[in-house]
Structure 1
Amino acid sequence: MMIPKDYDSNSVTMTANNLLLLMANDLAEYIDKEMTRKQGVQWLATLKETNYAYRDFNLKDPAALLKDLARNGSSQIRQALNSRIERGFLKNYYDDINVLLGERNVWIHRQVQETTAELLDLVTTIVRVATPLGLGLLAECTAVKDSILKPLEDTISEVIMVPIPQPEAEKIAEIPAKIEEVPEVSPTPDIQISLSEIVEISANDSFEVGDAVTDRLLSHSYVLHLNGEIRNRATDEVLTEANPQSAEKLGALLIVRKPSGGRLRITEEGYLCAFFGDKWGYLATVNASEWFPDHLTNSTTKTEKGR
């Protein structure tokens, strides 16, 4: 894989798509090798003959592969991975694969900000999935990371005691050396939100929950925890600390609409999105005054429903 020397929007997109393709290829090869070791070289043909759900399954189709691993609790190919993942990490691991499926979607449809910060965030997600399996593309991930960070480090080393401001969109996520559990967030004590309050908040909706959102997504990304807490992935800051006035009601609404929690993204208009099936879909609308400081610039007037 060619590693760019300089990154513009096109080279960022090409690099992201190449990494996603390599990830899918390496993962498919790993699964094929493990399943062959366990069941013999005809394992896939046998699976297609004996299990109707896999009749048309294509191991080399990235979307089909990731979807089966992430969302099929009775997946027949998870057994190739489970022995390499500690039992206590299995849920987190398959959640990471689901996140990777969602990230693949936004890159393919070019809904993402084509910046090096977004590329590094994708690399981080890939590394979390690839590291426990020792996949070959980890070398490419390291090369991409170094090609982006090394010039910055060299520049910084030449400037003594002069801070270099970094715009929010270019904040760089660190790549973990190994897969780790998502930091625990203490349950929000006694969240009190009535049905009437949920109805009141819902009246501001711009779309139906789950409707496809095709707008460009901002570089910020978040995690919705099962207790309704919302965490900024870049800083680990939670909304109850950043904006306690709106955090509890908003978190309660979001977890009602997306009980499984997971990755959230947001558009410039303040449309919060979650990954539904094969698309990023509408979850709620928020204003700058209700959200993390400096993440939005939209006004305090909600977008009219149906726009």
Structure 2
Amino acid sequence: MLSKQFIDTAQRVIEIEQQAITEIGQYIDTHFASACQAIFDCQGRTIVIGMGKSGHIGNKIAATFASTGTPAFFVHPGEASHGDLGMITKQDVVLLISNSGETSEVLNIIPVIKRIGAKIITMTGNPLSSMAKLSDIHLNIAISKEACPLGLAPTASTTATLVMGDALAVALLEAKGFTADDFALSHPGGSLGKRLLLTLNEIMHKDEQVPIVSYTSTIKDALFEMSAKGLGMTTVVNEHNELIGIFTDGDLRRIIEQRVDLHHTPIHKAMTVNCTTAKADMLAAEALNIMETKRINGLVVIDDNNRPIGALNTQDLLRAGVL
């Protein structure tokens, strides 16, 4: 019975929070557009301020802004009253968050922010609150009920606040034409950075590691080259060392079923022509997308003269942290 109660409660919480997200959709209006425009036009930074749970959500909103092309940081209102207001300039936009709109720690610093000359955007659940009235732009985040059965713990309201913050961040991202390359500049570490910044030149097998056989070689010769290089494939070149095809494990299975003579059949009769290729400066993430789309396990890297200069497979992408 207790297990069922846990599940029923969790489902109820999710339903209430889903409803809260639906409710704030009505507040995506001219006030929202004005807030976006103010942040878009900002010559300084967007400073996010909130107390308690609103502060935790505000910290996340500031981080999302910063990583999506809107320079931002979070300031705790308590610390702001003891020196951190010096971080704010008249070129900045200040986003103040409070569900009630009456948080004293936030209200206390509004006069100073106004004296500095920074534009104030408030995000509250009460458009008649003190904070709403003192702001230049107010964003309504009112919801009908909290998921907490006591109606006390911020639950659905913090979810709605976070969603409104995400809406602002993404709207600004698109307006600024923020790209994946821009995103990579602020995320150079970890697998995310690797996916966005690594090029094939950094992870591909090069020089003697590239499997290559002549088009006059036999299938047997190609198998020896594949075994020696361990990539599950070999490139096939003409007399000018230009790529004319590729021979893979899949091709091998096909010709075995056809009972082809491996010792005497030239590789050009068994290879795959018009194979998928890439350039060394291609992003590894783009190469991964090509390999997944075409359902291939290997990729040949060529130069401007159509000569193979590198090769890689899905294991190389996995080791590099891209896959």
TM tier relative to shorter chain: under 0.3
* Length-normalised TM-score, structure 1: 0.19
TM-score (norm 2): 0.18
